[in-house]
C-alpha cells in the first residue's frame, strides 16, 4: 500500500499546510466564496478549489451554491477527533510545574507495571 489518501480522514486532510490555512480563513464560521478564499490565501484558484474539494470530501467544510458562487463554510465538528486525540497529551505542557507531578505519576505507573508482571524487555537490568 502507498500512503493513505488525503481524503482518508481528517488527520490526513489537515496535514497539508495550505489546507490548514484555508481552514483558518473559515475559522469565524462565516461562509465564503472560493474567490474570497483565493484572495485571502493568495493561491491559484485551481489549487484552492482542489484543497476545498479535499476538505469537503472529509466533511471539514460544506458547500452551498448561491448564484454563480459556491459558498464554503467550516464544519468544525469534524475536527473534534483531532482535538480529542491530542488532548491525551495536554497534561504534558499545561503547567511546566507539573513536570514534578508527572515524575511522580510516572513512578507510580512504573510500580504498577512491575507489580502487574508486565513483561517488558527481556533484560532485567532496569532498576
Count interface residues toward DNA (CB under 7 A). Answer: 36
Q: Which is nearer to DNA, 15 or 108 (CB)?
A: 15
| CB 112, min distance to a second copy, A | 10
What cell numbers appear for 86 in the block? Answer: 491530542
53 near DNA (CB under 7 A):
yes
Q: Which of 50, 59, 79, 82 binds DNA (CB under 7 A)?
A: 50
Please report, in angstroms and rounded to a whole number, the separation of the first and last CA atoms in the chain: 41
25 near DNA (CB under 7 A):
no
65 near a second copy (CB under 8 A):
yes
Pattern of binders to DNA over 62-91, x per CB under 7 A? Answer: -x-x-xxxx---------------------
Contact segment (CB under 7 A) with DNA among 15-23, 80-88, 91-99, 100-108 equals 15-23
Q: Which of 43, 57, 59, 82 binds a second copy (CB under 8 A)?
A: 82
Residue recorded with cell 448564484: 67
67 contact partners, CB below 8 Å, separation of at least 6: none
Give the DSSP per-residue string, 76-115. Answer: GGGGHHHHHHHGGGGGGTS-TTHHHHHHHHHHHHHHHHHH
Helix, strand, coil abundance in the chain, percent, nearest 5: 55, 10, 35
Amino acid at each position: 500500500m502507498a500512503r493513505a489518501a488525503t481524503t482518508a480522514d481528517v488527520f490526513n486532510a489537515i496535514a497539508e499546510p495550505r489546507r490548514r490555512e484555508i481552514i483558518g480563513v473559515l475559522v469565524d464560521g462565516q461562509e465564503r466564496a472560493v474567490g474570497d478564499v483565493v484572495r485571502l490565501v493568495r493561491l491559484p484558484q485551481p489549487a484552492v478549489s482542489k484543497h476545498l474539494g479535499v476538505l469537503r470530501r472529509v466533511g471539514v467544510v460544506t458547500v452551498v451554491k448561491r448564484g454563480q458562487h459556491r459558498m464554503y463554510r467550516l464544519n468544525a465538528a469534524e475536527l473534534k477527533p483531532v482535538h480529542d486525540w491530542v488532548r491525551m497529551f495536554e497534561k504534558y505542557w499545561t503547567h511546566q510545574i507539573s513536570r514534578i507531578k508527572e515524575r511522580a505519576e510516572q513512578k507510580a505507573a512504573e510500580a504498577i507495571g512491575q507489580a502487574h508482571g508486565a513483561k517488558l524487555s527481556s533484560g532485567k537490568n532496569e532498576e
